[in-house]
């Protein structure tokens, strides 16, 4: 049985004070269920404050990106050691905003994934097609390329700390969610690919999250799909009530 992972990506929102308040509110909604985990990814400046706020709870604190080196001349980057030092234990990598707005390539993203894993962080690798790619029938090719390249050189035993987030670019922040069928199709394809690239049991144990306009109103049907193991939530994660409802999705 895979534990679900309900992740909030706060993007470039919240001062330290806002972040602590939001984390405290989220904690009030946190389940005692044994079948799910909660992850919060505040901006770098608030990682330490949020980690302190949630200490003693099971909430996982994550960065929104990570470098592969422990330290050095990498202006503007954050190292895996720094993430851990601030109280984080995970990193989101390859988010579509990094790919599209900051031109991060699969090669760079692969270095980040390997760096995160080398330093024992959980790596949340984001993949997803644009609308043009989907409409021109390229979706599966795009996902395959992003995953093959993103996970190149990752060892099977490291895969226990890898989570893939399928986030169709056209669904992020647009209010347009992939239908449960569209999401399930992509997730099943990703699991099959992981089983080809690694082993069947690696694929069966790996969590695949859906992201892109997840809301209280659509989380239940998405989470009811056999290959959807959680959600990566942007906008709705900034509101504790909404995120609380998402964490507490109903099983049918």
User: According to CB under 6 A, which one of 106, 167, 227, 229 is a site residue for ligand PGA?
Assistant: 167
d(CA 128, CA 134): 10
- Classify 43 as helix, strand or coil: coil
Residue 234 interacts with ligand PGA (CB under 6 A)? Answer: yes
Residue 172 interacts with ligand PGA (CB under 6 A)? Answer: yes
Instruction: Tell me if residue 95 is catalytic.
Output: yes
Residue in 15, 44, 11 with CA at minimum distance from that of residue 172:
11
Q: Which residue's CB comes closest to ligand PGA?
A: 234
- Give the nearest distance from C-beta 19 to ligand PGA in angstroms: 17
Residue 212 interacts with ligand PGA (CB under 6 A)? Answer: yes
Pairing mode, if any, of strands 207-211 and 230-233? parallel
User: According to CB under 6 A, which one of 168, 211, 230, 244 is a site residue for ligand PGA?
Assistant: 211
Of the candidates 37, 95, 104, 129, the residue annotated as catalytic is 95
d(CA 185, CA 83): 34
Residue in 207, 240, 201 with CA at minimum distance from that of residue 29:
240
Instruction: Tell me if residue 13 is catalytic.
Output: no
Residue 213 interacts with ligand PGA (CB under 6 A)? Answer: yes
- Give the nearest distance from C-beta 56 to ligand PGA in angstroms: 27
Residue in 169, 151, 170, 148 with CA at minimum distance from that of residue 159:
151
Of the candidates 97, 133, 167, 187, the residue annotated as catalytic is 167
Cα angle vertex 154, ends 62, 144, to 5°?
Answer: 90
Q: Which residues bind ligand PGA (CB under 6 A)?
A: 9, 167, 172-173, 211-214, 232-236
């Amino acid at each position: 049985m895979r534990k679900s992972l309900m992740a909030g990506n706060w993007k470039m929102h919240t001062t330290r004070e806002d972040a602590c308040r939001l984390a405290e509110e989220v904690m009030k909604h946190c389940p005692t269920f044994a079948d799910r985990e909660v992850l919060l990814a505040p901006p770098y400046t608030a990682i330490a404050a949020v980690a302190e706020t949630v200490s003693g709870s099971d909430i996982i604190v994550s960065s929104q990106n990570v470098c592969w080196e422990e330290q050095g001349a990498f202006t503007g980057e954050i190292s895996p050691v720094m993430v851990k030092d601030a109280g984080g234990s995970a990193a989101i990598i390859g988010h579509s905003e990094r790919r599209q707005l900051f031109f991060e390539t699969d090669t760079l993203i692969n270095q980040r994934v390997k760096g995160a894993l080398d330093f024992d962080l959980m790596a949340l690798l984001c993949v997803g097609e644009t609308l043009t790619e989907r409409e021109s029938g390229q979706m599966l090719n795009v996902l395959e390329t992003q995953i093959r390249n993103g996970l190149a050189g990752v060892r099977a035993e490291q895969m226990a700390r890898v989570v893939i987030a399928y986030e169709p670019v056209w669904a992020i922040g647009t209010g347009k969610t992939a239908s449960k069928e569209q999401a399930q199709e992509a997730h099943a394809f990703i699991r099959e690919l992981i089983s080809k690239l690694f082993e069947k049991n690696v694929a069966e144990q790996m969590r695949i999250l859906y992201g892109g306009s997840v809301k209280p109103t659509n989380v239940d049907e998405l989470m009811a799909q056999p290959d959807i193991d959680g959600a990566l939530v942007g906008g709705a994660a900034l509101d504790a009530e909404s995120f609380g409802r998402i964490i507490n999705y109903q099983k049918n």
